[in-house]
Structure 1
Amino acid sequence: MSSLRSPAGRWRAVAVLTAALALAGCRPSTTAAPAPAPTGAATGGLPAGSSSSPMPGPSSCKLGHQDGQPLPDPHCTPGAVNPAVRQDSIADTICKSGWTKTVRPPTSKTNAMKAASARSYGLTPGDKGEYDHLVSLELGGAPDDPRNLWVEPGTIPNPKDAVENKLHAAVCSGLIQLVPAQQAIAADWVTAFDTAGLRVANGKVCLRTQPAKCVSGGRGDEDGS
C-alpha cells in the first residue's frame, strides 16, 4: 500500500510541501521593509552643505534688490546649512565663543570661489563686495557650499551683518529656535526679523507677540558671516 493512501502518509506529504514552499520564498511576508531615509536635506528644508556642490555658470545669476539692499538669486544661492549645527547642539557650536573660526574656510579656498561666484553673477573684477554666507556661520550656515555663498555688493561691514548678529542673539538666548532663523535669513535677509516673528527696538531684539521679551542684539560670534 502506498504511504500517501494512509492518513499519516498524507500528513507527511503536506508537511514536506509546506516546508519546500517556505524555503522557496512563497510564504507571504507580514512585515514591510522600511523606506530608506532621505539624504541631502537638513532639518527645516534647507539643503545640507556640501563643498562639492557645483558653482552656477557665468552670468547665470541675477542680483535682486529690496528696500535698497541687495539680495542673492534664490535659484543660485538658496542657502545651505551645516548639518552638525542643530537645536540640540547650539551650545557646543554656534553659541560657543570662537566656534565659527573652527569651520571658516581659508581664504586660499574662498578667494577662488569668490572669483567664480562673481562670474556667476556677472560682476566685474573691480566691483566692491563681500563674499558672504547667506546663512551666516553664526547661524549654522554651510561653510564652503556655493549654494550658501554670494558676492554681496557694497561696503564691509554691511547692513546684513547686524541682522545676522541679532538673529544669533535671539537663537542663543532661546528667544527663537534655530531653524526659523535659518529659514528667515535664507528666504530674504531684509525681512528676516518679520519672518522670524521679531522686532528690533533700542538696540534690542524682541518677540512681536511678547514685546517685553527681549535680548540685547550684540555682535554675535566675532565675524560670524
Structure 2
Amino acid sequence: MPPRPLHRSGPDFAHEAAAWRIGEVPVAGADEVGRGPWAGPVVAAAVILDPARVPDGLDDSKKLSAARREALYEIICETAEVSVAFAPPARIDATNIRQATLWALARAAQGLPRAPRLLLVDGNDLPPVGCAARAIIGGDGLVASIAAASIVAKVTRDRLMGELGRLNPGYGFERHMGYGTPEHGAALERLGVCRHHRTSFAPIRLRLARESEAAE
C-alpha cells in the first residue's frame, strides 16, 4: 500500500504520497544552494526518501541551525537515496547562473541510484530531466524530499567552502561561504581574485577590470 502523508509541522510527505497513490514512483526532491555568492560552486542535491523512514525535523535548511543541519544530513544519507552535483565557477561564467543551476539540478537527479519517475524541485524553474517534473515555490519549506535535498546541498557546500578557506587562507571562505560580505570585499582588496571566484559576477568583474587598468 502507498504510504500515508505524515502530519507534522513544516514540510510533509503529502506530495510524495500522492505520487505513490498513482504509481508515480520513485519520487525525488531537488534543491540547490549557492546561486548568489561571489565564489565557489552551486551545489545541487536530489533525494529519494524512504516513506517508512522520513526523518523528523526536516525543514528549509536556512531555518535550521548548523548543528541541526549536520545531524539531519547524517540521517538523510543513512536512510535515503542521495545524489549531489556541482556547477563550478567556470561553468557559471561560461553560461550564466540560471543555466549552471539547472545543469547541476539535472546532474543531481541523474546521479540517483534509481531514476525518479517524478522530480519535485524548489522554485519556479525546471531542469532538463528525462522524467516528469514539478516546480514548487517555497518547496523547501513544504515538501519533505525537497527539504532533505536543501539540507544535503547546504551541508555539502558549507563543508566545501570550509576546505576552500583552509586551502586559500585570508579570504574567509569558511565564514562567509563566498557571499559578498564586507570581509570578503576587504579580502579581495588585499589578495585579489582567485580561481574560485565567479568572474562573470559584477563585483569580481569590476575588480579584475581595475587590476587590468592598474597593470597598464
Q: TM-score, normalised by structure 1?
A: 0.28
User: Relative to total residues, which structure has the larger helix share, 1 or 2?
Assistant: 2
Whose relative contact order is higher, 1 or 2, with alpha carbons under 8 Å and at least 6 apart? Answer: 2
Q: TM-score, normalised by structure 2?
A: 0.29
